[in-house]
Amino acid sequence: MKKILPLVIVVALSTFGTAQAQKKSELIEQNQDLKYRLDSISRLVSTAQSKQKISEIKAEELQAQVTELQDANATLLQNLNSFAALSSQNSENINKTLATLERKEAQLKGIVDGVASNDSTAIVILTNAKQTLGENAKVQVNNGSVIISEKLDFYFADGLGAKVQESAKPWLEKIAKIIAANPKSAVTVSGLSMTGELDIALQQAASVAQILIKDYGVDGGRMNVKGMDGGLRESLQIEIHPDYKSFYATAKDDVKN
């Protein structure tokens, strides 16, 4: 019995030692397995973190692109609005300019028509004067005006003084009829002096104008008188012409409007 007990102890210790060795081996193996798993998980975590970082960078880049596109779109919309406003303003300015041009064209047409009408009137007056005064009458047309000329001695004795001769009055009566037949025309009586005595020339013109007004009913508001230097000639001229004051006043009013 005493011999068996030590043997049993030895066997037990041997079995325990074997079990301990086996358990340690298993623990080492499990530890290595856990370590391998930990390394795998660490690699997975590292890969996931890298991918997350890349995703964050890409997200930041995309956000920057979106912001840039938003800014560009806002700038484009602002430019489009500015262009639309400018286009509208330009269109309004063009319309105003066209309206102004049309108005000016109408004004110019009125002036041109007025000048053409004056030219036509001058032809009518010239024809009338030739018929009334005779073909030998000294009548000419100049710048839309009909000018009837005679020497001073036709109106005044020896061409001197300012008293109109009776022999000239029938002639003035005929001229008064021509004036009356053209009520829209004005009349200017001019005395032309070759001696420089413009005061005498003016008095002579006034005397003729006075007879036309008092004796033959010409409207004094249509009459003008002038004394002029005739250079190397002297005469008395009766000019039937457009009413320039009225014409230019009308043209001026048209241009203002």
Determine, yes or no, domain membership for 224: yes
Domain hosting 167: range is 114-256
Percent of the chain with pLDDT over 90: 41
Region 24-34 average pLDDT: 79
When comparing pLDDT for 122 and 188, which is higher? 188
92-131 pLDDT tens trace: 888 777 666 666 555 554 444 444 455 678 888 999 999 9
Instruction: Return the pLDDT at 3.
Output: 54
Region 203-210 average pLDDT: 97
Give the integer Cα–Cα distance in Å for 80 and 73.
10
Give the integer Cα–Cα distance in Å for 207 and 119.
29
For the record, the structure tokens of 155 come out as: 């109106």
Determine, yes or no, domain membership for 18: no
Contact predicate 189/226, CB 8 Å: yes
Determine, yes or no, domain membership for 174: yes
Instruction: Return the pLDDT at 137.
Output: 92
Determine, yes or no, domain membership for 118: yes
Give the integer Cα–Cα distance in Å for 195 and 159.
12
Give the integer Cα–Cα distance in Å for 113 and 242.
13
Worst-scoring range by mean pLDDT, 44-53, 135-144, 192-201, 219-228?
44-53
pLDDT over threshold 70, residue 6: no
Determine, yes or no, domain membership for 209: yes
Contact predicate 169/211, CB 8 Å: yes
Instruction: Return the pLDDT at 102.
Output: 64
For the record, the structure tokens of 217 come out as: 């009913």
| Residue listed under structure tokens 């002096």 | 193
- Write the CATH number for 228: 3.30.1330.60
- Total domain count, the chain: 1
Instruction: Return the pLDDT at 112.
Output: 42
Percent of the chain with pLDDT over 70: 76
The phi, psi pair for 144, rounded to 5°, reads: 80, 5
Determine, yes or no, domain membership for 95: no
Determine, yes or no, domain membership for 212: yes
Determine, yes or no, domain membership for 232: yes
Name the band, by pLDDT with cuts 50, 70 and 90, for residue 51.
confident
